[in-house]
Homo-oligomer: A and B are copies of this chain.
Amino acid sequence: MADRKTISYQDIRDEVVARIQNRRWPQGTVLPTELELAAEFGCARATVNRALRELAERGIVDRKRKSGTRVALSPTKQAKLEIAVVRQTVEEMNAAYRYSLVSRDLMACPPWLQAKIGLTDPGQVLHLCCMHFADDRPFQFEERWINVQAVPHVIEADFLSVGPNEWLLAEVPFSDAEVAFSAVPASASLSEFLAVPTGTPLFQMERTTWFRSEPVTFVRMTFHQGYQMRTRY
């Protein structure tokens, strides 16, 4: 350690990671207590605490009261996926974004959807189909159902110029969501919208969204052939 004036929590965090990678503290090892580490590094316990808390969040160590901090055994690593709005994703590729509404109809909530999102009252849903283009080439086909009861004035939105994703984000900020990724074959309609042969493997993302425990929307986003979702961790 450099003999700087003050030790930062990042110094401690990095040093702990180094010792784990060095095998000085192999997997399963119980680390010294916060007090001991604070003494070793010559800093306050709060500083050690912050460093170790961050490592615990990353899944690198496990912490328990009384038993202490130990190096994690099965490193269930956590990847942070940044899920942005389609427009942003397209623009980050330096491509021109274009949005187009395909269809919009109000309907009774179908039973499968009712079960899927856990809706008790069989109310109405707004059913939307949209296309997103990058440089005028198909990028994503979006099929969405919105729970009218949860967002009543969705009926007044025409979704001609603004996509439902962005509209909802402004309307229902910071909701909870559950996502599922999978590979699906292009159906007849998907093959037309995304300009690929029927049966082509396509990357799909499904998402159900709740606002204060009330289901708001379910969306199925199917990407163009060859799309990859990437992240670092």
- Measured CB to CB, the residues of A under 8 A from B are 17, 20-21, 27, 60, 71, 74-85, 88, 169-170, 173-174, 176-185, 199-204, 211-212, 226-233
Question: Can you give 5 contacting A-B residue pairs, CB < 8 Å?
Answer: A21-B211, A74-B169, A76-B84, A183-B184, A185-B200
Would A79 and B80 be within 8 Å (CB), given that A177-B233, A181-B181 are in contact? yes
Asked whether, in the complex, the Cβ of A178 is within 8 Å of the Cβ of B230, the reply is: yes
Can you name the residue of chain B whose Cβ is closest to the Cβ of A76? B84
In the bound assembly, the distance between CA atoms of A83 and B58 in angstroms comes to 12
Known: A76-B83, A199-B199, A200-B201. 6 other contacts (CB 8 A): A21-B174, A75-B174, A77-B174, A178-B231, A181-B181, A182-B226
Would A184 and B169 be within 8 Å (CB), given that A20-B174, A74-B88, A178-B232 are in contact? no
In the bound assembly, the distance between CA atoms of A48 and B74 in angstroms comes to 34
Asked whether, in the complex, the Cβ of A83 is within 8 Å of the Cβ of B77, the reply is: yes
Smallest CB separation, A45 vs chain B (Å): 14
What does DSSP make chain A's interface, helix, strand, loop or mixed? strand
In the bound assembly, the distance between CA atoms of A183 and B200 in angstroms comes to 9
Residues of the B chain whose Cβ atoms lie less than 8 Å from the Cβ of A20: 173-174
Smallest CB separation, A6 vs chain B (Å): 17
Residues of the B chain whose Cβ atoms lie less than 8 Å from the Cβ of A181: 181, 203, 228-230
In the bound assembly, the distance between CA atoms of A199 and B202 in angstroms comes to 12
In the bound assembly, the distance between CA atoms of A180 and B231 in angstroms comes to 7
Would A183 and B201 be within 8 Å (CB), given that A74-B88, A83-B79, A232-B177 are in contact? yes
Would A180 and B85 be within 8 Å (CB), given that A21-B173, A80-B78, A174-B20 are in contact? no
Asked whether, in the complex, the Cβ of B228 is within 8 Å of the Cβ of A182, the reply is: yes
